[in-house]
Amino acid sequence: MHGRRLGVVAAATLAAFTSTARAFPTPANLTARDAGATGVHLDRRTDYTTLATTNAPLIKYHPDETFFCSSVEYMFPYYSMVYSDGSAVSGAPSSFSDTNLDFLYQEGVDASGVYLAVSGEPTADPSLSSTYSYLYSTEAIGVSAPIYAFVVPKSNGVVDIYYWLFAPYNLGKDVVLFGYVGDHVGDWEHIMVRTINGVAVSVDYLAHSTGTGLGTLSVADSRITWSGTHPVVYTALGSHGTWPEAGSNVYDTIASVYDLTDETGDGSEWSTWNNVYLINYLQSGGYTGSQAWLNYDGYFGNPGDTSCWFYSVVGECAFSEGPSHPNRDMTGPPADVLATPNTAAPDYSDYTFYLSAGAQAWAVANGITYVAAHQHCAASSSSHETDNWGFVALTSSSSVTEYTVTTDRCKKDYSRYAWEYEVAFCTGAAEGDCTTTSGYRTIVQYSGSSVATEKGIVLSDPDPWSWSY
């Protein structure tokens, strides 16, 4: 057995994440991708434009795509505003614009149960009727549409950029026994590029409302290709889920039997940096002028059908509910937190993380004396999963505070590896002394450009922890 080392409070800052070269040899510059400079200084509004443009993706449609993306405004002439039962919203404008779509917001009325609907229920089995030809958009529109870039500054030099694409229609999936499932008017999909001190460090590839997809990939990941500083994104045939590679991508399974698959390929290219629609993110709304439409917090498609015989099994019918608005909660961390194998001390894992000012103050005020890192180890079977704990004394600071905690590595047998971690508040340096925990963040390890599954890791997490204590 190997002994446990107790962690110490770290004095380092997240400046170590920034790299000035295209190399990934140490945790200090893990996943840092340099565009030929040391980073973008974020002290003026115009710098966000530069940052968003520099990191905007090159999107590749499938060669057989017919449901191309468009601007939101493209759909305004075809929308009416209704409730879930199809009844009209009183007082809705006769025609919509950037500045009146949010009229309910301006009146202080919650629009979360409101839909922007087209007439009828257009389903594409096998194709849309000519009445709905406008839902196809066109290739010319699709390769010149705006990409909606929400810029979200966070702690420790982090600026996350959420790139949202909009399409007039989502083609569902052809499922054995059920036919097409999940057709709906309107479609919002996105990726997220994380930058630290002006340098891109990761890309989140996401797919559909289930939040599935590949999650957080280091910019060093060999699966990502680049067009200069722009990550390549493959958007799925008809349904627009985002992926780093061409091929067949399973993102969900119906009734534990039928795989739902996004097909991607090398078709028309959309250089989104030529039309970046920059949005300084406002979590609770309050957008003005030509961006006032972002205050609308309802759905961008029709209410869905729930009367089909397989709804209780699948959760959807042939015609489904449209997507909710894009101004969603973007304040949290990415899907996964990145780490590297601990080659310097492979018998241990080192966790560097932050407590939010609120969490730190609560701990000080409530007699907490130790902060713990709880490492959960995956294994070849769930019955062999294990845990490791490490502890460090709580400081008396009342602001955002950085800690480094060391745990033992995962046990050697049953293919164990460090899979996720959480933070805990404790009154002593033992697991049984911990009174509240944060909930886990999933770990993705990288060794160079490849995903790793090591037992001891080095992790630096820039997203401050905060939870209900």
- Return the residue matching tokens 């090159």: 58
pTM above 0.85, yes or no: yes
Question: Is residue 11 over pLDDT 60?
Answer: no
Q: In angstroms, rounded to a whole number, what is the distance separating the alpha carbons of residues 466 and 99?
A: 36
Mean pLDDT on 289-310: 96
pLDDT number for residue 210: 55
pLDDT digits 0-9 by tens, 393-434:
999 988 889 999 999 999 999 999 999 999 999 999 999 999
pLDDT digits 0-9 by tens, 322-371:
999 999 999 999 999 999 999 999 999 999 999 999 999 999 999 999 99
Above pLDDT 90, what percent of the chain?
80
Mean pLDDT of the chain: 89
pLDDT number for residue 12: 30
pLDDT digits 0-9 by tens, 76-121:
999 999 999 999 999 999 999 999 999 999 999 999 999 999 999 9
Question: Is residue 140 over pLDDT 90?
Answer: yes
Is the CB of residue 340 less than 8 Å from the CB of residue 445? yes
Question: In the structure, what pLDDT confidence band is assigned to residue 156 with cuts at 50, 70 and 90?
Answer: very high
Closest CA to 104 of 320, 285, 302: 285
Q: In angstroms, rounded to a whole number, what is the distance separating the alpha carbons of residues 301 and 299?
A: 6
Mean pLDDT on 453-466: 97
Mean pLDDT on 306-324: 92
Q: Please name the amino acid found at residue 467.
A: W
Extract the tokens encoding 43. Answer: 């002290």
Burial class (CB in 10 A: 0-12, 13-18, 19+), 348: buried
pLDDT digits 0-9 by tens, 112-124:
999 999 999 999 8
pLDDT number for residue 124: 85
pLDDT digits 0-9 by tens, 187-222:
999 999 999 999 999 999 988 765 578 889 999 999
Q: Please name the amino acid found at residue 372.
A: A
pLDDT number for residue 209: 66
- Return the residue matching tokens 């405004």: 73
Least confident of 5-9, 57-61, 376-380: 5-9
Question: Is residue 41 over pLDDT 50?
Answer: no
